[in-house]
Structures are given as structure tokens and as C-alpha cells.
Amino acid sequence: MKILWIALVAMFMLACNSQPKTDASQGEATEVSADAQWVEVVINVNGMTCEGCENAINAGLEGLDGIASAESSHEEKWTKVKYDENVTSVEEIKIQITETGYEVVEDI
């Protein structure tokens, strides 16, 4: 029973510390347009349990063209993104969060 518990904890830690397998993890630069229209949005996100989860979402988003910054909080269950609306959209940001393995909570 103890071995099973250790194995479960180890799997959980690996999952929380894994980085998304996107071009962003390859270190590609983010494109910013000359006439950028910066907008900030806060998106509610379920499924984050630790800083590793926050880092995975942030890295995935910062790899998208037009993203200036991404900040996430697993404790408060949100991700704040500053982006150029001429280059990307809220929908593309939500898709990236979902593809990273987390659930976007739509407003009611």
C-alpha cells in the first residue's frame, strides 16, 4: 500500500511539473505587431494544483504570437493574459489553455 501511495505521489508531481510540448518550449520568440492593441483578460481556469501547473499554462501562452505576458494562480484559479488583439484572440488563448490540459471556465 505504501508503494502504491509513493507511486501516485510521484506521478502527480511529474504531471504538475511537465511543460507543454509546443513550439513555445523550443524557445521561439513571440511576434508583436508595430501597431499593437494591448488588451488584458482574466480567464477562470480549473485543474491547476501547483506552481508547475501555473508554469505550464504561462509557458504555453507566452509561446503564442501576440502575447506580452501571462500570469496564473492555482490558488485563485485564474490566468491573466496581456495580448495584442491584432495578432491573437481570447478564443485562441482559451484553446491554448485547454490544449495544455486545463479547463477554461466560461462566464455564466
Residue appearing with cell numbers 491584432: 86
Stronger pLDDT, 15 or 106, i.e. the higher one? 106
pLDDT in tens, 2-57: 565 565 445 555 555 544 433 333 344 445 456 789 999 999 999 999 999 999 99
Q: Residue 3: its pLDDT value, please?
A: 64
Q: Residue 93: its pLDDT value, please?
A: 97
**DSSP-assigned letters across all residues of 79-104:** EEEEEETTT--HHHHHHHHHHTT-EE
CATH ID of 2-20+37-105, from 1.20.120.1200, 3.30.70.100, 3.40.50.150, 3.20.20.70 = 3.30.70.100
> Is the entire prediction scored with pTM above 0.85?
no
| Vertex 13: Cα angle to 78 and 27 (nearest 5) | 65
Stronger pLDDT, 32 or 59, i.e. the higher one? 59
Q: Where are the domains of the chain?
A: 2-20+37-105
pLDDT band at 106 (very low <50, low <70, confident <90, very high): confident
